[in-house]
Amino acid sequence: MQVCLLHPKWQHVTYREPLDPADFPHTSELWDRCSSGAQKAGLVRLEAIYQSGGFYIDSDLEIYRRLDVLRHLPFVACWEDANTVPDFFFGAEAGHPVFRELLTDARVSLSQGAWQSGPGVFTRHLPGRSDALLLPPGSFAPYHYSERHRRHENHHDANPWGFGAHHWAASWLAVEYGDE
């Protein structure tokens, strides 16, 4: 992964099944209620960053630049478009106060689908907070998920001020909408 090459001194952790429920005491009892892998992954990423701090980066997010300039921020995420704050990238201090709200809302929203319990939670709680910076869409989403045909374009040259490009593997669409 490019992110590992750009940050060789950082600790890089990948979470894969089987996960030990004891490592996720705040959300593991909810895993059986998840209707998709996307929902479970959303809970795991929230709790992992809540516990340890650092950055969460989706595996289909290509990083072009070092993220060091974002490390000092208490919480950072980005806009996908004018309406949505996705959860494919975020960084935070361990124990940041917004996690209590995010985890509580994710629990309540599980029955409503992966969007509601993931990006929906971020969109409902992060805009307008003084302790969370939301970067503009071009920072990590130089094209919209509805433009997945653009995945193979050279986004780095077209978007040199961006940190990366989310390539929208869209695993949630296959489960919820029968796409792909």
Is the whole-model pTM more than 0.85?
yes
For 56-98, write each residue's pLDDT tens digit.
999 999 999 999 999 999 999 999 999 999 999 999 999 999 9
Identify the pLDDT of residue 113.
87
Q: Given a cut of 90, is residue 119 above it in pLDDT?
A: yes
Write the secondary structure of 134-163 as one string of H (helix), E (strand) and C (coil): EECHHHCCCCCHHHHHHCCCCHHHHCCCCC
Q: Given a cut of 90, is residue 180 above it in pLDDT?
A: no
For 1-34, write each residue's pLDDT tens digit.
689 999 999 999 999 999 999 999 999 999 999 9
